[in-house]
Structure 1
């Protein structure tokens, strides 16, 4: 038998578990973004002109 046809079941299982966890993480991220939208990256807003002393 050739070495090319061997399947590493441990690696395949780890890949599937990683994909499932990644999918679950994306679903959670989308749920949180609907409830609490992330602030857009940009310049920080200033509240007003600072007073000189």
Structure 2
């Protein structure tokens, strides 16, 4: 009736699709967050070591 080579694991396909959707959503949220609060490149303060 059907060939074994053409069987599709629906669970695995759904998992891939859900993963892709979650990745897309995460990237959208990350981009929105970076626009709202851009990451400032902080320079390390050049403080002299404290004398004890």
Task: Quote the RMSD (CA, aligned, Å).
Answer: 2.3
- Runs of 5+ consecutive residues of structure 1 not aligned to the other structure: none
Alignment of 1:1-53 (within 5 A): 1-40=2-41, 44-46=43-45, 48-49=47-48, 52=51
Query: Displaced runs of 4+ in structure 1, greater than 6 A?
Result: none
Q: How many residues align?
A: 51
Normalised to the residue count of structure 1, the TM-score between the two structures is 0.72
